[in-house]
């Protein structure tokens, strides 16, 4: 595969990775970006799990099956939506990692 990049982009990739080959440098950048995003998402998931004392699947089950007044608070709704978004984003990152390494 041939990758056509502006010289400035190729130089930046080389500076950031130390590798003069744009294809390899881009792979390194993508690998680092995926690892960084995955760590941030995992940290967020750990925070919500610690806050609620359970993983998202259990929290979601309680949310969907129990009609509790605390589910209607702004904080509870925000937590649910943000936590669900992190779970979804982690799946996307995992898929991107599989594509990168396949």
Instruction: Give the pLDDT band (50/70/90) at residue 90.
Output: very high
What integer is the mean pLDDT of 89-95? 98
- Could you tell me if residue 79 is inside a domain? yes
Q: What is the mean pLDDT of residues 66-72?
A: 83
Taking the C-alpha atoms of residue 54 and residue 58, their distance in angstroms, rounded to an integer, is 6
pLDDT over 80 at 61, yes or no: yes
Q: Considering the domain boundaries, does residue 7 fall inside one?
A: no
Cβ neighbours around 93 below 10 Å, total: 20
The answer to whether position 83 is within a domain reads yes
Q: How many domains does the chain have?
A: 1
Residue 51 lies in a domain: yes
Instruction: Report if residue 12 sits inside a domain.
Output: no
């Amino acid at each position: 595969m041939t990758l056509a990049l502006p010289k400035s982009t190729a130089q930046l990739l080389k500076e950031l990775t130390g590798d003069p080959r744009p294809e390899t440098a881009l792979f390194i950048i993508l690998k680092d970006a995926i690892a960084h995003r995955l760590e941030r998402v995992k940290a967020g998931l750990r925070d919500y799990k610690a806050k609620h004392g359970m993983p998202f699947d259990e929290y979601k089950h309680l949310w969907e099956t129990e009609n509790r007044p605390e589910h209607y608070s702004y904080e509870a709704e925000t937590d649910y939506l943000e936590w669900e978004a992190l779970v979804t984003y982690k799946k996307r990152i995992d898929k991107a990692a599989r594509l990168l390494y396949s």
